[in-house]
Amino acid sequence: MSEIQIESSDDELPEEVAFDASKSAALKSVKDVLEAAKREKNSLKEKRKKRQQLFQEQKKRKRLPQELLEEFDKEPQKQTGPSDNKGIYKKVSKTKPSDNKDKTKTGTTAKKISKSLPDSYRVTRIKDESAAKSLQQKAVDFIQSRLYGPGTIRTTNAELLSLRKKRGVNQGAAVGFLNKKLGASQKARIARSNKRFIRQQKLIPL
């Protein structure tokens, strides 16, 4: 009986050894994967760092010199030589009458011509002006389309009165058959009412 038990225990030993070996192999593979991921991460980090350094170097090379930037920061009005002042200064001859001969002379004085525009001048771009005109034209077109477009229902006073005569309680003949010419007072009253309506609605008459 004891021999059978010893043989069975001997049979179980290889399974334990195989499990330990597979466990160590799995741990080693996981460790290798982690190390490979770490190496890849470090390589990407190094590449990013080199790219940033290269970008900074290119940016420094493209920058203007510091002396030139300091000159831009200074005042724009700077005294230049006589050869550079041909377009900025012009010579004006003056004659001042006086009793003193030392004060009476005809000389050339430099008069500075300002490059900046006067306060009464105003600069506008053509694009902005055309945009404003186009907006105004769009507004006018919109009003005209709402008043006189194909979708609006408009009729004359005679047609309206004829419809009232036709569909009203007291039906009768159309206005065109009864009175072809309205009176002068009635026409003036209609014109005044139309003008009042246009003024109240702030419409643009054609």
| Mean pLDDT rounded to a whole number for the chain | 69
Residues 52-79 have pLDDT tens digits of 888 888 777 766 666 666 666 665 554 4
Specify the range with the lowest mean pLDDT, choosing from 50-59, 123-132, 150-159. Answer: 123-132
Q: Band of the pLDDT at 93, cuts 50, 70, 90?
A: very low
- Asked if residue 153 lies in contact with residue 163, where contact means CB atoms within 8 angstroms, the answer is no
Summary count for the chain: helices (H), strands (E) = 6, 2
| 72 membership: H or E segment, kind and range | helix 66-73
- Asked if residue 93 lies in contact with residue 106, where contact means CB atoms within 8 angstroms, the answer is yes
Q: How far apart are CA 44 and CA 37, in angstroms?
A: 11
Q: What is the mean pLDDT of residues 127-131?
A: 72
Looking at the chain, the whole-number percentage of residues with pLDDT higher than 90 is: 6
**Domains of the chain, residue spans:** 1-72, 126-201
Whole-number Cα distances in Å, 1 to 4, 10, 13 = 5, 15, 19
Q: Is 89 exposed, middle or buried (0-12, 13-18, 19+ CB in 10 A)?
A: middle
Q: Which two tokens stand for residue 176?
A: 């065109």
The pLDDT value given to residue 92: 45
Put simply, whether the predicted model's pTM sits higher than 0.85 gets the answer no
Q: What is the mean pLDDT of residues 169-191?
A: 68
Q: How far apart are CA 53 and CA 61, in angstroms?
A: 12
Q: Who has greater pLDDT, 54 or 151?
A: 54
